[in-house]
Amino acid sequence: MMRLPQSLLAWGTPDFSDVLKREIEQASAGLPLQQGLSKGSHALDDRVEVMIIGVDDGATYICVRAGLFYSSIIAGCSCADDPTPADTQDEYCEVRLEIDKLTGETAVVLLAA
């Protein structure tokens, strides 16, 4: 579970989407990137870009659907004579974030890879 307190504070303002994107990108360790892989074998969380697809206002939570753009590698054996280069692969998955309106605690669910 991750916390998005700045996004909660920005809820209802014109800056909400920008604050949310920035906060998710900074908290990338709490995202299901590894589970969302479609090409590589190891997710890289150093450059995650977020696209907000939709936002719904619930009674006790803010539900956000977001697309995540990131990279992965196909990890080899790391032997000196390993012919497989460690090229990065572009990855994309979609998640649902449920932000608790009182605490900012956020549940993240992988939707589609």
In the chain, the N- to C-terminal Cα span, in Å, equals: 20
Task: Give a yes or no: residue 60 inside a domain.
Answer: yes
Calculate mean pLDDT across residues 94-112. Answer: 95
Domain count, the chain: 1
User: What is the domain extent for residue 18?
Assistant: 2-75+86-112
Task: Give a yes or no: residue 51 inside a domain.
Answer: yes
Quick one: pLDDT at residue 25?
Answer: 94
Task: Give a yes or no: residue 67 inside a domain.
Answer: yes
pLDDT digits (tens, 9 = 90+) for 28-65: 889 999 999 999 889 998 899 999 999 999 999 999 99
* Beta strand ranges found along the chain (DSSP E): 2-3, 42-57, 61-73, 88-100, 105-112
Task: Give a yes or no: residue 62 inside a domain.
Answer: yes
Task: Give a yes or no: residue 54 inside a domain.
Answer: yes
Quick one: pLDDT at residue 79?
Answer: 63
Calculate mean pLDDT across residues 61-80. Answer: 86
pLDDT digits (tens, 9 = 90+) for 76-96: 656 666 666 668 899 999 999
Task: Give a yes or no: residue 92 inside a domain.
Answer: yes
CATH number at residue 59: 3.10.450
Q: pLDDT-based confidence at 75, cuts 50/70/90?
A: confident
Task: Give a yes or no: residue 81 inside a domain.
Answer: no
Q: Judge whether residue 3 has pLDDT over 70.
A: yes
Task: Give a yes or no: residue 70 inside a domain.
Answer: yes
What is the C-alpha separation between 2 and 87, in angstroms, rounded? 30
